[in-house]
A and B are shown apart, each in its own frame.
Chain A
Amino acid sequence: MTVIAVTLPLTLAYAGLTALALAMKRHHEAALSAKPPAARLRGFRIAGWVLIALMVASCLRLWPTGLALSMALGLVTLAGLPLVFLLPYRPRLMVRLAPILPVLALIATLILT
């Protein structure tokens, strides 16, 4: 199990949590400086949960079921902590990282494993 392999679920968790944060009015306004219509918030919420589901699926591919579910919970935690501290200091960066990181992780996983 290389470190590379775990970057994909980790970054997916980050992207998913960022989407869920952007689905909340307060954080949406802070990070994107725009008043969001309800439909967009719902869109972000759905996107967030889809990403989290993808992340669980990628965990299941890496580990046996029991371990995978435990690790999925753990990785959400791990991805959430930087998010919480980026949000007040660098909200723009937080949003920009969300689509970039999973793509980078996917490329790294495909090349290096």
Chain B
Amino acid sequence: MKAGLRQSMAWLHTWSGLLLGWLLLAMFVTGTSAYFREEISLWMAPELHHSEPSPETPALAWAALNDKAPDAKSWDLRLPDARSPVAELRWQPNTPAAPDSGRRRGEQAVMDAGTGDLLSPRASRGGDFLYRFHFELYGVPRIWARWLVCVATMFMLVAIISGVITHKKIFKDFFTFRPGKGQRSWLDSHNATAVLALPFHFMITYSGLLIFMVMLMPWGMNAAYQDGWRGFFQDVFPRDEATSEAGAPATLTDIAPLVSRTEAAFEQPVRRISVDWPNRDNAVIRVSTDKAPAVTDRRRGGNPTLVFNGTDGTLLERQPGDEAIPGAFRVYNLFVNLHLARFADPMVRGLFFLFGLGGTAMVATGMLLWVSKRTQQLRGKAPGGALRLVNGLNIASLTGLLGALAAYFAANRLLPVEWAGRESWEIRVFFLAWLLALGHALLRPNRRGWIEQLAAITVLWASLPVLNLATTDSHLFSATAWRVGALAGFDVVCLILAGVWGYALWRVVQRRTIRGQGPLPQRPRPQQSMAQDPRSQRGARTAGDGA
């Protein structure tokens, strides 16, 4: 065993990539969709689509909370923003908290921001299911799933580093893509998607590990704190619990003047209002605005806030939200924020979505390359069981997952609205569709399998906007969908993706079968005759352009 560094790295890259590639692919697809988690959730709750924000929204929410929970311990009100047209109301009932119950969630409701009616959206896990699947999978005990995801992420880091070492001519081949050459083309496209987006891949992998650092490396904390991470978190993120008691009943002041005062003070729209002890004489109202986006910012808090006395509306405190964040925190926040695109406006979010798709393409091309290389080595012989298995799993994890995703969205529109446990049925549809695709792929781990599944997902994704048109009134041809933006965006992205799958299908179908029954859709030769030499091909192209 005296292989050179490059060979051993190539071996490591090949096998770590293959073993965890399928899981990584699922993580990339669901993680990419999670950049639009809220938009997906909104699309999957058509009952909320008609809410229209108005200047009256804070006052309406005030009335709704007074009606719903006048004696609560606290209120928390989120006003509509660019990503959500509804107002979210949360309140903490004034009951003694169960000791050690962890996070107390309280109760919540969704309000139409224009009319003040409380809305009851259909039961659905929406984008949260995909977001959770990204790092916790589903149906596996949470801690096991997280470890599995961590191991996959670590192998991703291993694959990135070993891939860079293996790559012979990283700068010379920076722009190289040689189409129509089977394995060579897959290698080029794997290299192109990997090297060009290397900063993103490294960032997303490394920050993914950082997010789980407490789980991966608990020893320092365990040595310093007797109760491990609980004590650590208590020190690092102190929670300011309201320890006060309820005062005497009193009437709350009007909210509208406080909102306009805050907006005037910070020149930003108000996003969040929270109240301690509403309708008591010790009520405190906090009115917060958006904060300027910053990649090193912390997750919660730090929004510019005005604190008011709840009964007479006098200003108690002005919190500009610009206190300095210590250096180590900033580094940690930088990575976590980049991973979650938390700071991002819709456009930056869209860019991250595209990068996520790029990462998906990198994993997918790598796995197709594995099959392509071994198919080419067969020189026309029938592929063995292992190769067929890998190809089948590739089909199921790529087109199968994409099909299951479309089925999940379709189920949201097709399952009866009033149905006990409908949110778990949506998820069941997702897994049943995926299982079906897996069975199909294992039966047909060949070109036909690819063609049939590509055809299926093209139809499925293209039918989503149509289904939306048939079942809701916030479809592509409605003013509502374009007013909210995210809704029209969802349908348009479905159509674009359907177009991409359709194009892939066309390329696979168009390819003449090379060397008998190749199990893989190698990149089709644009013109059969010019595939021998890249020089002659370019010459032919140039001549063709001139004609």
Instruction: State the A residues within 8 Å of B (CB).
Output: 1-3, 6, 17, 20-21, 24, 26-27, 30, 33, 63-64, 66-67, 70-71, 73-78, 80-81, 83-85, 87-92
When A1-B348, A74-B355 are in contact, do A84 and B196 touch as well, CB less than 8 Å? yes
Task: Pick from B179, B196, B352, B534: contact of A80, CB below 8 A.
Answer: B196
Q: A71-B351, A81-B192 are known; give 19 further A-B pairs, CB within 8 A.
A: A6-B347, A20-B174, A20-B175, A26-B176, A27-B175, A64-B294, A66-B296, A66-B334, A67-B348, A74-B352, A77-B200, A78-B355, A80-B175, A81-B193, A87-B176, A88-B178, A88-B534, A88-B538, A91-B541
- Note all chain B residues with C-beta closer than 8 A to A76: 196
- Note all chain A residues with C-beta closer than 8 A to B352: 74
Task: Pick from B177, B203, B295, B351: contact of A88, CB below 8 A.
Answer: B177
**Complex Cα spacing A23 to B539, Å:** 19
Which 5 A-B pairs have CB atoms at the shortest separation, nearest pair first? A80-B196, A66-B295, A73-B199, A77-B197, A21-B175
Task: Pick from A21, A33, A70: contact of B295, CB below 8 A.
Answer: A70
Nearest CB of B to A39, in Å: 20
When A1-B347, A84-B192 are in contact, do A73 and B178 touch as well, CB less than 8 Å? no
**Complex Cα spacing A74 to B35, Å:** 15
**Complex Cα spacing A21 to B192, Å:** 13
Q: Is the interface of B mostly helix, strand, loop or mixed?
A: helix
Nearest CB of B to A38, in Å: 17
**Complex Cα spacing A77 to B354, Å:** 10
- Note all chain B residues with C-beta closer than 8 A to A64: 292-295
User: Does chain A have a CB within 8 A of B245?
Assistant: no
Chain A: which residue is nearest B350 at the CB level? Answer: A3
CB <8 Å contact, A24 and B172 = yes
**Complex Cα spacing A63 to B338, Å:** 14
- Note all chain B residues with C-beta closer than 8 A to A84: 175-177, 192, 196
Interface size range of chain B in the complex: 35 or more
- Note all chain B residues with C-beta closer than 8 A to A71: 348, 351
CB <8 Å contact, B334 and A92 = no
- Note all chain B residues with C-beta closer than 8 A to A74: 199-200, 351-352, 355
User: Does chain A have a CB within 8 A of B229?
Assistant: no
- Note all chain A residues with C-beta closer than 8 A to B294: 64, 66-67
- Note all chain A residues with C-beta closer than 8 A to B244: none
**Complex Cα spacing A26 to B172, Å:** 9
When A81-B358, A88-B538, A89-B541 are in contact, do A67 and B175 touch as well, CB less than 8 Å? no
What are 29 A-B contacts defined by CB distance under 8 Å?
A6-B351, A20-B175, A24-B172, A24-B175, A26-B176, A30-B534, A33-B542, A63-B293, A66-B295, A66-B296, A70-B295, A71-B348, A73-B199, A73-B200, A74-B199, A75-B351, A77-B200, A77-B355, A78-B354, A80-B175, A81-B196, A81-B358, A84-B175, A88-B178, A88-B179, A88-B537, A91-B541, A91-B542, A92-B545
CB <8 Å contact, A77 and B196 = yes
**Complex Cα spacing A90 to B292, Å:** 42
User: Does chain A have a CB within 8 A of B431?
Assistant: no
CB <8 Å contact, A92 and B348 = no
CB <8 Å contact, B345 and A1 = yes
- Note all chain B residues with C-beta closer than 8 A to A20: 174-175
User: Does chain A have a CB within 8 A of B343?
Assistant: yes
User: Does chain A have a CB within 8 A of B526?
Assistant: yes
Nearest CB of A to B312, in Å: 39
- Note all chain A residues with C-beta closer than 8 A to B193: 81
- Note all chain A residues with C-beta closer than 8 A to B176: 26, 84, 87
CB <8 Å contact, A70 and B178 = no
**Complex Cα spacing A77 to B204, Å:** 14
**Complex Cα spacing A84 to B292, Å:** 36
- Note all chain B residues with C-beta closer than 8 A to A27: 175
- Note all chain A residues with C-beta closer than 8 A to B348: 1, 67, 71
Chain B: which residue is nearest A93 at the CB level? Answer: B545
- Note all chain A residues with C-beta closer than 8 A to B354: 78
Nearest CB of A to B333, in Å: 10
- Note all chain B residues with C-beta closer than 8 A to A80: 175, 192, 196
Chain A: which residue is nearest B180 at the CB level? Answer: A88
CB <8 Å contact, A89 and B347 = no
- Note all chain A residues with C-beta closer than 8 A to B343: 67
Nearest CB of A to B37, in Å: 20
Nearest CB of B to A29, in Å: 8
Chain B: which residue is nearest A18 at the CB level? Answer: B175
- Note all chain A residues with C-beta closer than 8 A to B177: 84-85, 87-88
- Note all chain B residues with C-beta closer than 8 A to A3: 347
- Note all chain A residues with C-beta closer than 8 A to B203: 70
**Complex Cα spacing A87 to B337, Å:** 35
Nearest CB of B to A41, in Å: 14
